[in-house]
Amino acid sequence: MIGGGQLANEATQASTFTRRAMLLSGLQIGVGALLAGRMTWLAVAENERYALLSESNRVNLTLSPPRRGWIVDRYGTPIANNRTDFRVDIIPSRLADPDQVIANLARLLPLGEEEVTRIRTDLKSAAGFQPVKVAENLSWEQFAAVSVRLPELPGVAPTRGFSRNYPQGAAVAHLTGYVGSASAEQYQETKDPLLVTPGFKIGKDGLEKKLEPLLRGKPGAKRVEVTARGRLVRELATRADTPGRTVRLTIDAGLQEFAARRLGPESGSVIVFDTLTGDILAMVSMPAYDPNGFSDGISRLEWKMLSEDDHLPLTNKSLQGLYPPGSTFKPATALAALGAGVDPTRFVYCNGGYQLGNRRFGCLGRHGPMNMHTAIARSCNTYFYTVGRQVGIDAIAAAARKLGFGAEYDLPLPSQRYGTVPDTAWKQRRYNQEWTQADTLNAAIGQGYVLVSPFQLALSAARIASGRALTPRLLATARQPIPLLDVAPEHLAIVRGGMDEVVNGAGTAVASKLPLPGIRMGGKTGTAQVRRIVDRLRGQGGDWKYRDHGLFICFAPVDQPRYAASVVIEHGLGGARAAAPVAKDVLTYLFDKPKAMESLSRFETQWGGDIPTRMAVKARAFAATQPGTPEAAAAAAAQAEAARAAAEAANATVANGSAPGETR
Amino acid sequence: MKAPVSGFVPAPLAQLPWRILLLVILIGGFGLVVLFSAAGGSIKPWALSQAVRFGAFLGLAVGLSRVSTATYARAAFPTYGVLLVLLVLVELLGAVRGGSQRWLDLGFIRLQPSELMKPAIVLTLARFYAILPPAETRRLPSLIPAGVLVGLPFVLVMTQPDLGTGLMIAFGGVTVMFLAGVPLRLFVGGAALMAVAVPLAFNFVLHDYQRHRILIFLDPDSDPLGTGYHISQSKIAIGSGGLGGKGFLNGSQSHLDYLPEGHTDFAFATMAEEWGLIGGFFIIGAYMLLIRWGVMVGVNASGRFERLAAAGLATTIFFYVAINLMMVMGLAPVVGIPLPLVSFGGSALMTVMICLGLLMAIDRQNRRAPGGW
């Protein structure tokens, strides 16, 4: 032991050290306890949350699109079904060398310049597991070529899927609509991962859109274990998809296709009703697009061609086209007159027109004495001016509404138009003007303010034919009892008698008698003025777009009506000339298919083939007019020559007194 | 006093502190098991080479324990000087080659002077306070050389830049100063100064990536796929392990690569996922025993150098463990400090084995002296 202050100091120092060392040790143990506590918190209190996070790291859920439900016709013939589709996608997170893989794929498939650019753009905006489409609708050979080279193509995923198929193509386009990939907005709305699953398509228009909930089905799912870099370790569980439901329509696919083909190059529509049930047997609007092509997305060129076409292939004219019904409205006027007590046997003398004050309303002929029967048959305007003015517009409007005009129907299709059934209150509301006698005269012959859709025209024919307040049916669901029409049966019989005379007696459509023994068709022609200017041509010539529309309503057989139809041919000059022959063939098809097909094949030879053939020719011709396409380059020289020739020809036709620019 | 000699065990072996060696081997062995699992159930590429290294460095530690503490006391200053020169060399090499450099390639080994500085700074300050007259300890002028001794390597390492190692060197030095008896008010004052200096340092001294890491640490979810990803995934691994873990070789976070650095800095998370809270408590408990033993070696030592050195070295090991565990559990920013004896890698293993070797040397000295442990 060493003594002195030094000792005391050293002893103090030693005890200071011991105190502080113990304090330090205590602090260290405290930190140890804190760490143990923190770990307990993480592993026990928050275990559930972290276990879930770990699980969602480990397991990746991939959806497989459900097979879409079929759309079939009344006999079970598919109108929309699915065909096996081989496709190739890229999983971005598994892609090691994008440039090399894309170059390989471009060589194997092969892909065009435009496609490669699209894939690169998609890859840039895509992240992680969300596959990017490389190509769809591949042939088995292309699919196999990629599949066998998979080891050299990391990140490429070939899959077998289904794509939508419409066997009747353009003939059903306006009915079925089409399917396509969901838009970004639709995904933002629901955040449903199915919407961004490659190969999944939703209904974009028509029945496909409206029946989406029925047709969609439930997606299959595959749970896989993946690494952080997206490498698949193993499959955990797979759930098969639940296909969408099959929807049966009242449509007769054969009739639908026939009617579409029979319309030929015209712009028009055909609607056929079953008068016993209200079933819609056909609803055609032509020209149309090919819905098969639409489901993969169409090129800008195709879109340009469709949207610039003055025959409006993108519009469903049967529901959305509105036309002045012209003389096809006369049955409504006749029923209004009968309802108001006009004697159908009373004669009205037609001297070629009707004088209202100092205005003369013209008739197409000098028919002489006319009763209701002959007035319908010969489509005498003077008679209907007279009785129409007698009963007044409100009675006419009421009769028209009973026949189904001016209303919308419960159809699983996206849009319909009411049209206009004008009356005094309507004009007051719409134009804040008094209804005039002149308005009544115009309305009585289906001109003026009256606007109807081809669908409503067909329905009016079906109601006249059946005497029942038929409700249009497009889905083959349970039938409802159909109430009688609030019109006296004998009045309907008079109108039907007149319509029989139109086709089978001394009427306007005698050229369109059914070529079938014992089956007569009743009908009514109509010609709708496109512009009011009554020039020298009276809408019977000149520019296509200024020509009159041709309309026709009909039913058959006359004595026991079974079918009713309307045909509208845009700018077809007249109902008897353009529409009635189509109606004749369509109704013939219902009774005698071979005979109808024979007639059709004659026409199609004239027109240059069936619908797909003509559409392809048209697409090539259009492409040739567009700068920057190969077709255009090829056609460039010939075009200059053709233009010069066309100019000469145009001069010649002007000299002959008819208008230039007639293309059809 | 001599250790009792048994007839079967040779004296030098019997004299080894077997309890401590056993503890170290337990921790290291468990670490090898974790590395085996981290490699997907394979001794390659990590477990085998780490086992070799572990054996070698354990041998080094036992070797170091045979050297007398007086030798260490004498060697403290020269070692410090050599390491300081090497740190400057590293700095110059980094400046020449561009970019940061932390090691010197000596051909057979990549020497990381900053790593060796961790025990060296403790020995140096212990030596400094051992020769400082006791009365001087509490006086302010004596702080200046001590501050310079800590400050020089700290600044050199921070400029490498290596935030974690720099902080550990500073902590080690400050710990020895605290143990030596520097007045408490200075530590309180120092803490206050830190409170002012940290925000300044944050804005003007730290590199962008370091600043980013700290910001992310404060809010890991703000950048779940960037730097915060490490912390988030580590917490998921630990939290999903639960009480008993997912089972050996069944950790999905580590095996499916969601946990980054699962064999190095985040080895504890790899372990916790498969062994759960029980495994975690084992590691934490084992380390606490080891560190507590080290501090007690100091308390029981008779010389001033030995006392300060032992407690300081034990605290160096503590800083390794504490900083690493706080980091993997989301209590500290990601600073790149591995878990010694468990994480794959040689540097930290070597440093900790040197610390242990020195501690065993001091312990051996204590047992010879009267009143030993």
A439/A576 same-domain check? yes
A261/A325 same-domain check? yes
pLDDT at A358 over 70: yes
**CATH number of the domain residue A185 falls in:** 3.90.1310.10
* Closest alpha carbon to A521 in A537, A535, A510: A510
Phi-psi category of A166—alpha, beta or left, where left has phi over 0 and alpha has psi -120 to 50?
A: beta
Backbone φ and ψ for A202, nearest 5 degrees, come out as -115, 160
Q: Which of residues 80-119 of B touch A (CB under 8 A)?
A: none
Max Cα distance, chain A (Å): 156
Q: Which of residues 305-344 of B touch A (CB under 8 A)?
A: 307-308, 311, 315, 318, 322, 325-326, 329, 331
A218/A307 same-domain check? no
pLDDT (mean) for A567-576 = 87
| 8 Å CB contact between B312 and B122 | yes
Distance CA B347, CA B339 (A): 11
Number of domains in chain A: 2
* Closest alpha carbon to A168 in A249, A266, A267, A278: A249
Distance CA A538, CA A535 (A): 5
* Closest alpha carbon to B312 in A30, A28, A34: A28
* Closest alpha carbon to B298 in B311, B312, B287: B311
Which residues from chain B sit within 8 angstroms of residue A233, using beta carbons?
Answer: 256
Q: Which helix (H) or strand (E) holds A361?
A: strand A359-362
| 8 Å CB contact between B254 and B219 | no
pLDDT at A662 over 60: no
* Closest alpha carbon to A164 in A62, A251, A231, A66: A66
Distance CA A169, CA A37 (A): 70
The answer to whether A29 faces chain B, any CB pair under 8 Å, is yes
Residue A327 lies in a domain: yes
Residue-wise burial string across A178-202, b where 16 or more C-beta atoms lie within 10 A, e elsewhere: bbbbbeeeeeeeeeeebbbbbbbbb
Number of residues that make up chain A: 664
Alpha helices by DSSP H, listed for chain B, are 11-14, 18-38, 47-65, 69-97, 113-131, 134-137, 143-158, 163-180, 184-204, 208-218, 228-241, 252-255, 267-300, 304-328, 347-368
pLDDT at A236 over 60: yes
Residue A526 lies in a domain: yes
Select the more confidently predicted residue: B366 or B370. B366
Digit-coded pLDDT (tens) for A265-310? 889 999 999 999 999 999 999 888 888 887 766 777 788 888 888 8
> Residue holding tokens 């026990």?
A44
Distance CA A593, CA A574 (A): 27
- To the nearest whole Å, the CA of A22 is away from the closest chain B CA by 8
Tokens (6 digits) for A585: 């063939």
pLDDT at B5 over 60: no
Select the more confidently predicted residue: A529 or A326. A326
Tokens (6 digits) for B199: 């925000």
- To the nearest whole Å, the CA of A190 is away from the closest chain B CA by 25
Distance CA B94, CA B101 (A): 5
| 8 Å CB contact between A180 and A209 | no
A416/A510 same-domain check? yes
Contact (CB<8Å) A28/B181: no
Question: In the beta sheet, which residues pair with residue A552?
Answer: A525, A567
Domain boundary among A248, A281, A311: A248
Select the more confidently predicted residue: A150 or A179. A179
Q: Which of residues 9-48 of B touch A (CB under 8 A)?
A: none
Distance CA A117, CA B66 (A): 72
Residue A202 lies in a domain: yes
| CB count in 10 Å sphere of residue B276 | 23
SS3 content of chain A, % helix, strand, coil (to 5): 50, 20, 35
Contact (CB<8Å) B181/A42: no
Looking at chain B, the whole-number percentage of residues with pLDDT higher than 90 is 57
Which residues from chain A sit within 8 angstroms of residue B276, using beta carbons?
Answer: 43
The answer to whether A19 faces chain B, any CB pair under 8 Å, is no
Question: In the beta sheet, which residues pair with residue A569?
Answer: A268, A550
Digit-coded pLDDT (tens) for B10-67? 777 777 788 999 999 999 999 999 999 999 889 989 999 999 999 999 999 999 999 9
The answer to whether A38 faces chain B, any CB pair under 8 Å, is yes
Amino acid at B357: G
Domain boundary among A593, A614, A640: A593
Contact (CB<8Å) A58/B258: yes
Distance CA A631, CA A139 (A): 26
pLDDT at A125 over 50: yes
pLDDT on residue B9: 66
Digit-coded pLDDT (tens) for A442-451? 999 999 999 9
CA closest to A33 among chain B residues: B284
A171/A318 same-domain check? no
Cα radius of gyration rounded to whole Å, chain B: 21
Amino acid at A370: M
Backbone φ and ψ for B86, nearest 5 degrees, come out as -60, -40
Digit-coded pLDDT (tens) for B70-106? 999 999 999 999 999 999 988 888 777 666 677 777 7
Distance CA A631, CA B93 (A): 67
Question: In the beta sheet, which residues pair with residue A25?
Answer: none
Digit-coded pLDDT (tens) for A50-70? 999 998 888 877 788 888 999
- By three-state DSSP, how is residue A562 classified? coil
A224/A299 same-domain check? no
- Which residue of B137, B240, B281 is in closest CB contact with A13? B137
Which residues from chain B sit within 8 angstroms of residue A24, using beta carbons?
Answer: 175, 178-179, 295, 311, 315
Q: Which distant-in-sequence residues (6+ apart) come within 8 Å of A429 by Cβ?
A: none
Full residue range of the structural domain in which residue A145 is found: 60-248
pLDDT at A406 over 80: yes
The answer to whether A40 faces chain B, any CB pair under 8 Å, is yes
Digit-coded pLDDT (tens) for A532-558? 544 545 556 667 778 889 999 999 899
Distance CA A440, CA A386 (A): 10
DSSP assignments along B335-359, one per residue: -----TTTSS-SHHHHHHHHHHHHH
Residue A629: band (very low, low, confident or very high) from pLDDT cuts 50, 70, 90: low
A217/A295 same-domain check? no
Distance CA A643, CA B309 (A): 104
A409/A424 same-domain check? yes
**CATH number of the domain residue A268 falls in:** 3.40.710.10
pLDDT on residue A375: 93
Distance CA A342, CA A329 (A): 18
**Strand A368-370 to A348-350 pairing:** antiparallel
Contact (CB<8Å) A42/B329: yes
Distance CA B354, CA B362 (A): 12
A468/A424 same-domain check? yes
pLDDT on residue A658: 36
Burial class (CB in 10 A: 0-12, 13-18, 19+), A387: buried
pLDDT on residue A657: 35
- Which residue of A24, A28, A43 is in closest CB contact with B239? A43
Distance CA A312, CA A322 (A): 13
pLDDT on residue A660: 35
A449/A486 same-domain check? yes
A412/A549 same-domain check? yes
Alpha helices by DSSP H, listed for A1-46, are 5-40
Which residues from chain B sit within 8 angstroms of residue A38, using beta carbons?
Answer: 329, 331
CA closest to B236 among chain A residues: A50
| 8 Å CB contact between A73 and A252 | yes
Max Cα distance, chain B (Å): 66
**Strand A71-72 to A247-248 pairing:** parallel
Residue A324 lies in a domain: yes
Query: Helices A253-263 and A580-591, interaxial angle, to 10°?
Result: 150
Digit-coded pLDDT (tens) for A468-480? 999 999 998 888 8
Distance CA A421, CA A5 (A): 123
Alpha helices by DSSP H, listed for A368-448, are 372-378, 381-391, 393-402, 424-431, 437-444
A523/A539 same-domain check? yes
pLDDT on residue A150: 80
Query: Helices B69-97 and B304-328, interaxial angle, to 10°?
Result: 40
Q: Check residue A218 and report its DSSP letter.
A: B
CB pairs under 8 A between A and B: 140
